[in-house]
Structure 1
């Protein structure tokens, strides 16, 4: 299949009718070739045809095929109602699911393909609803006009492979611009989440948003509040996990949407003091996010990206102008961790994710007490224990948080952290830091002290853990003596 990205020409205004015809030919050939090597689409289409229905590859699948980046997720649309779709796919698919059937979507798996078949439909919100009202349509044109953006409003009718593009999505794809099939006001009124989706596509595809679309986003940003927190969260995740999240986040902030879904982000745009003695926290946070992405090793990491974006959200609340003219943000990491927990909980993130991201925000400044390596082994142990399973992410977040343009200072910080990581590695090899436990467990404590289960055992365990962190592993005899000495002092 030709590489569609290389075939896309310059912006529309620079093209001639001949180049547009050539574009259409190349892209249609690309889609046709894609379908030729994907017999699953033709096989499914024949089954719909035999049952008296039509089937078309649609939306993001067509867009991605034209961009040369289609994976194994295929989206289809049909005039068949969901119950008819089920009758057709059940004997054919390896697995079928009905989670989205209330919205006209039937999902199934065939070989390595994940497939969704959705009945022609239109959907709209009223002023107070959090869920779209779905009504079925009768034509592919009706279905395409209700799509979010023109680049997602293209289809390929099957099995004849007829390209359908009533809203010039192909031209917008070539120009890398996001427009809506109808007016943006109508589109965003139908589903306000599309405003966030515009930012997400800017981040995913590196597309620009049409000025009319951006104007509507600004004017209607408050409409996002009728969308459920879960849908907002899922869209935010897709944006953050995209290749260019900075561009999408800028759109959220500049349009006013972030003020409704993540108000802590625009709040980072602190007005500088007259001497400009502190950096732009908003731009700094976006840069830290990008630098954290550069350190990812196994694909996009949502926990790391959220922590990088939110690590300084406590600064606006803790900013103080000192008498000597300096600006301080004392304990902003502690305040920020609490703010992170509150915002992520409101967005319905899982408890584990909230805990992990909040912990990273709370610990992101800890390294700066390390200085030139004067930490004791005890301090290093506590650093590792407090980070727990987030230690590797904390390494990446801490390194990403250095955005100074002073090469000497940046080099010194990097070398200092190299030194800390080397010390952690040595201690881990000697002491298994990730699994630090007291030298005596609860049963041994009860036996030695001659006590039964109760709060005293917990206190004794905590004391032995403190000794383990402070002094490292102890021989059993020394541990027993230390426990008895502490117990005598308690009595």
Structure 2
């Protein structure tokens, strides 16, 4: 097969000419070739040369008048960013592995050696950029057939591929999820047989692949593959603990693992935000440790939202996820995910609405997306009832927010103003006055404005024995 007509980007001609001038063979390899055949756009282009990838990159940069070339001598690779494309250059190589490391011993090799070391057949195809056969597809492992069959398969024996570089097990599941492909039986069995090998891979690399699965259109597919292969137990046992149904006196609870996957897929239909998707994954993570059976009411999970929120930092730390505002965002949504549905009652007070708006802040809209996604009943009447209830809550929130503006609450009176008004040094009393003003606003005792806040400040100060400083208002 010749794919010359697909090489319409001028960079391919430039690389071809550079290779010819250097007297080396040059090929496009990997994901870009796969994506051409899948008719998917791609901005990452990998070039392999039977020679020096660094020299080829420098020659290409010279020809396109690009000053910036990133060179990685230890790996024999170079990178050029040009016109929105990420161009990677490497010399063809063959690899051998030590059992205790996924870092290979690398030697110069042929194109065939380079294709042999690729992870999957669909990523092991190459297109020649050489004058004699420009555009010709080189497909030694029938990757094109596997694309048509929609299967993931390793070029060599799966046991060798996955034992050598166990991260490839995560990549197999990630590609299967992103492309909605099956994993060929022998390849899948190779994953099952090598799950213990994932322990030599850094958690950062594992989590990077996990996040790519989570960012796919239907991440539940990837999580099911991780679960059934045994990999999920190795990397994220807390999620596996959600699996299973227990029955006592004929009363059962739902399988919280599959419920979580449904919530995750539901969120994915409304948002591409990775950390909202993580909130969906973790919203019920504390159900196993909070599970109790009450003969009168059946199964309960009291406090799972609070305990779940407390579990979030530990899980993020173990998975090497960021321990910054992203983690605090997930923690907040896990803690609050039951609150909106509790506000459905007709007699609910504005105070309760204000407190939710205050605690959720700018994340209230994401919280409502999570709450809607949490409705996984197969009973359509029940689903419609819950959705109608959420609309009622949102109407109440809009009314209260327009009136009281507490979503992005800022104290009408600052600590510095309190100190100046009474000529006092920083101390506990400042925080007590600020907290009392905030509580009065949230309780609806005063309006969220400066005049009423100042009036209350002076009243509070009087009860604490503070005198107004002359000249301050």
Say whether the fold is shared (TM-score over 0.5): yes
Which residue in 2 is equivalent to 1:283? 258
User: CA separation in 2, counterparts of 1:195 and 1:273?
Assistant: 35
Q: Distance in 2 between matches of 1:313 and 1:122?
A: 44
With over 3 angstroms needed to count, the CA separation of the structure-2 counterparts of 1:213 and 1:437, relative to structure 1, is: same
Pairing partner for 1:56 from 19, 24, 27: 27
User: Is the 1:202–1:209 Cα contact (8 Å) retained in structure 2?
Assistant: yes
Does 1:88 find its partner at 2:59? Answer: yes
Pick from 111, 116, 128: which aligns with 2:100? 128
Establish whether residue 260 from structure 1 lines up as the match of residue 234 from structure 2.
Answer: yes
2:159–2:190 Cα contact (<8 Å) kept: yes
Among 232, 252, 269, which residue is 2:243 paired with? Answer: 269
Q: Counterpart in 2 of 1:436? A: 409
Structure 1 residue 82, shift from structure 2 partner:
4.3
1:307–1:360 CA contact under 8 A, matched in 2: yes
**Structure 1 residue 124, shift from structure 2 partner:** 5.2
Deviation at residue 66 of structure 1 after TM alignment: 0.2
Name structure 1 gaps, 5 residues minimum: 1-27
Q: 1:373, 1:416 within 8 Å by CA — same for their partners in 2?
A: no
In 1, Cα distance between the equivalents of 2:243 and 2:387? Answer: 27
Change (3 A) 1:89 1:399: same
- Contact persistence 1:437–1:468 (CA under 8 A): no
1:98 to 60, 70, 73: 70
CA deviation after TM superposition for structure 1 residue 246, in Å: 1.3
2:173 to 199, 209, 222: 199
Give the corresponding residue for 1:484: 458
* Secondary structure of 1:341's aligned partner: helix
- 224 and 480 in structure 1: CA distance in 2 versus 1, 3 angstrom threshold: same
Relative to structure 1, the CA distance from residue 222 to residue 373 in structure 2 (aligned partners, 3 Å threshold; closer, same or farther) is farther
Paired with 1:474 and 1:207, the residues of 2 have a C-alpha distance of: 55
TM-score by length of 1: 0.88
State which of 380, 392, 406 in structure 2 corresponds to 1:419. 392
Q: Is the 8 A contact 2:207 2:319 kept in 1?
A: yes
What is the Cα deviation at residue 444 of structure 1?
2.2
* Residue 295 of structure 1, aligned match among 245, 270, 289: 270
Q: How many positions carry a matched residue from both structures? A: 458
Question: Contact 1:345–1:354 (CA<8 Å) still a contact in 2?
Answer: no
Aligned residues of 1:154 and 1:164 also touching (Cα < 8 A): yes
Q: Note if 1:367 corresponds to 2:337.
A: no
Contact 1:439 1:468 in 2 (8 A): no
The match for 1:309 is 281
Structure 2, unaligned runs of 5 or more: 466-473
CA distance in 1, matches of 2:394, 2:243: 33
Range that drifts further, 367-376 or 146-155:
367-376
Name the SS for the 2:241 alignment partner.
helix
Structure 1 residues 279-314: Cα deviation after superposition (integer angstroms, max 9, x where no partner): 111111111011111122xxx210111111221111
Deviates more, 1:393-402 or 1:358-367: 358-367
Q: Is the 8 A contact 1:122 1:143 kept in 2?
A: yes
Q: Is the 8 A contact 1:151 1:169 kept in 2?
A: yes
Change in CA separation of 1:190 and 1:358 when aligned onto 2, cut-off 3 Å: same
Structure 2 equivalent of residue 464 of structure 1: 437
- Tell me which moved more, 252-261 or 378-387: 378-387
Q: Of 273, 298, 301, which aligns to 1:329?
A: 301
Considering only aligned residues, what root-mean-square deviation do their CA atoms show, in Å? 2.1
Distance 2:67 2:251 in 1: 60
Closer, same or farther: CA 386–126 of 1 in aligned 2, 3 Å: farther
1:147-197 deviation digits (Å, cap 9, x = unpaired): 111111110010411211111111111111111000001101121010011
**Secondary structure of the corresponding residue to residue 88 of structure 2:** strand
